[in-house]
């Protein structure tokens, strides 16, 4: 058995804990650990991987894949650190020039990221008709007039359905600046919706160096442990992508944490359709699993104050977690949290900060076999009040996601799952699967490789549009690491496009498949 290479190692980096698991080919959890997240992220990843490998013993040689989900990209945007300088080119003049690139961005973030912007002739109408000839000389003059910059983000009007101009600009830039110039095209990042797609493309370009540092860190830890394993990153829709793909499209990792939790909870509970609640140390994230995949939001999402339109799980986040602080005078829960310091600061662990973990212990929850000592009456009252408040907020959130249905199972996972009672009002049957405290890492370990593509067409060309988008989605899934022989289309969404002369639809296709076996694909490398 030791000669088999059938084990996957999943890691998920959260705000409080870094979780790691090892699962076999049947989805059985063989080893699991929770380690404190570190400021540099790498330390927590290393601790998690080392711990589960130690638990495996000689079977560590069976690990052939390592999957990582992380909030590192989100943290970089919010904290405004390690971001690259980006030159933004919009193809669309003389149309779409009233609103310049980065409109609505937080001022400090825009000043940090934007090296300069240009709106030049180009772009397409919804039916593919060019708005204006591509202004090649204008692009060259813009690039020559810039100071220092790290990357170029190119966004054309309706480029997801008419990609040729963006591709031509990419060739022009590399001819002008050299073959190693970093060029990011909006057609690869998001669907139609000019400003949101442009924002996502610029963010993606700005995150390139951050992504490379994380991929290098993961490769380093895997090499340190002597693992002969292929490495993957989790992405927003609950699927995986290769390390090289993640380094090129880091913005696609931003929603990977909630997506991992939803996928892992569904797998551990056996529920293909359910409401998932992942209670961590800082927040509770609620989502819905539909046919085994996270339900996606149809609304634009803000990341660090920037409005984007790439696909994200439909997740409702509450400031309720095991480390949420309790005001001893009023019994108010939050908004603060002790986070990864809970093991030293919470009352249950000998600290002096009241938390919701203490409130749950007071109510009878078993937490590491610990019990609270004597507490003054006012503090007991405050903890009971805070726990009641938290449960009301959780019940309201579940009701919002259930759309009035009380028969949908509620799967509770995460280290703070003890905050959710079995009789939560408005919830269906409550399920607490084994290993639910590391569901996010399980989700990373079991995920398929996936890809997505969008196409706009006239209604009478619907079938051709679906075929074209399906082909592109399958190709992206294979690029992300899927086995070419097993990748399939798993979702097709058709949306009418308004304000067009002829009936028009937008087709969005998602493809996914199991990871290619070791030896059937080139291992991801860090250039």
Environment class of residue 492 by beta-carbon count within 10 Å: exposed (0-12), middle (13-18) or buried (19+)? middle
Structural domain boundaries in the chain: 84-206, 448-513
Mean pLDDT of 471-491: 88
Quick one: the chain helix, strand, coil %, rounded to 5?
35, 25, 35
Mean pLDDT of 291-298: 78
DSSP readout, 325-336? EE-TTT--EEEE
- Report whether pLDDT(387) > 70: yes
> From CA 141, how far away is CA 290, in angstroms rounded?
50
Which residue in 155, 157, 74, 71 sits closest to 109, CA to CA?
Answer: 74
β-pair partners for 230: 65
- pLDDT tens digit string along 329-361? 999 998 888 877 888 899 999 999 999 999 999
Query: CB count, 10 Å around CB of 29?
Result: 18
H/E element, 11: strand 7-13
Identify which has the larger pLDDT, 229 or 81: 229
Mean pLDDT of 14-22: 83
Phi, psi of 168, deg, nearest 5: -65, -40
Reported confidence tier of residue 507, pLDDT bands at 50, 70, 90: confident
Instruction: Quote the pTM value.
Output: 0.75
- pLDDT tens digit string along 189-222? 877 788 989 999 999 999 998 888 888 888 889 9
- Report whether pLDDT(183) > 80: yes
Tell me the three-class secondary structure of 380-433, residue by residue: HHHHHHHHHHHHHHHHHHHHHHHCCCCCCCEEEECCCHHHCCCCCCCCCCEECC
Tell me which residue has tokens 């610029």: 202
Reported confidence tier of residue 15, pLDDT bands at 50, 70, 90: low
Maximum Cα–Cα distance for the chain, whole Å?
Answer: 77
- Report whether pLDDT(518) > 60: no
> From CA 523, how far away is CA 244, in angstroms rounded?
9
- Residue 455 is predicted with a pLDDT of 81
**CA quadruple 96, 102, 103, 104: dihedral positive or negative?**
positive
- Residue 314 is predicted with a pLDDT of 81
> From CA 362, how far away is CA 347, in angstroms rounded?
11
Which residue in 292, 295, 276 sits closest to 410, CA to CA?
Answer: 276
């Amino acid at each position: 058995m030791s000669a088999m290479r059938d084990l996957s190692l999943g890691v998920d980096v959260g705000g409080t804990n870094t979780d790691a698991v090892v699962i076999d080919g049947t989805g059985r959890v063989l080893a699991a650990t929770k380690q404190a997240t570190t400021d540099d992220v790498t330390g927590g990843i290393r601790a998690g991987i080392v711990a589960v490998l130690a638990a495996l013993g000689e079977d560590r040689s069976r690990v052939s894949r390592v999957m990582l989900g992380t909030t590192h990209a989100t943290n970089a945007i919010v904290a405004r650190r390690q971001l690259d300088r980006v030159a933004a080119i919009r193809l669309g003049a003389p149309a779409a020039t009233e609103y310049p690139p980065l409109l609505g961005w937080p001022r400090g973030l825009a000043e940090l990221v934007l090296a300069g912007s240009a709106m030049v002739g180009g772009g397409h109408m919804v039916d593919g008709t060019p708005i204006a000839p591509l202004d090649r000389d204008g692009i060259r003059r813009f690039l020559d007039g810039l100071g220092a910059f790290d990357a170029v983000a190119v966004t054309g009007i309706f480029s997801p359905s008419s990609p040729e101009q963006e591709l031509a600009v990419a060739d022009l830039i590399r001819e002008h600046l050299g073959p190693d110039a970093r060029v990011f095209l909006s057609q690869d990042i998001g669907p139609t919706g000019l400003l949101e797609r442009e924002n996502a493309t610029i963010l993606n370009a700005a995150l390139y160096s951050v992504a490379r540092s994380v991929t290098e860190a993961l490769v380093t830890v895997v090499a340190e442990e002597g693992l002969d394993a292929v490495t993957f990153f989790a992405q927003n829709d609950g699927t995986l992508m290769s390390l090289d793909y993640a380094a090129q499209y880091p913005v696609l990792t931003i929603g990977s944490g909630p997506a991992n939790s939803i996928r892992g909870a569904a797998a551990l509970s056996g529920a293909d359709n359910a409401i998932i609640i992942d209670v961590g140390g800082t927040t509770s994230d609620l989502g819905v699993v539909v046919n085994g995949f996270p339900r996606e939001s149809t609304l634009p999402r803000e990341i660090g104050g920037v409005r984007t339109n790439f696909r994200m799980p439909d997740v409702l986040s509450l400031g309720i977690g095991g480390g949420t602080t309790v005001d001893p005078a009023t019994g108010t829960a939050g908004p603060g949290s002790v986070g990864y310091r809970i093991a030293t600061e919470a009352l249950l662990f000998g600290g002096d900060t009241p938390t919701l973990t203490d409130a749950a212990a007071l109510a009878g929850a078993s937490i590491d076999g610990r019990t609270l000592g004597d507490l003054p009456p006012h503090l007991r009252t405050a903890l009971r009040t805070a726990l009641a408040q938290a449960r009301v907020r959780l019940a309201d959130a579940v009701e919002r996601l259930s759309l009035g249905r009380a028969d949908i199972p509620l799967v509770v996972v995460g280290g703070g799952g003890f905050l959710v009672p079995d009789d939560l009002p408005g919830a269906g049957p409550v399920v607490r699967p084994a290993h639910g405290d590391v569901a996010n890492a399980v989700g990373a370990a079991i995920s398929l490789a996936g890809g997505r593509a969008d196409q706009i067409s006239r209604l009478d060309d619907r079938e051709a549009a679906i075929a074209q988008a399906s082909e592109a989605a399958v190709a992206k899934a294979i690029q992300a690491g899927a086995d070419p022989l097993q990748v399939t289309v798993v979702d097709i969404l058709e949306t009418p496009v308004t304000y067009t002369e002829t009936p028009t639809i937008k087709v969005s296709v998602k493809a996914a498949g199991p990871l290619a076996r070791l030896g059937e694909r080139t291992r991801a490398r860090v250039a």
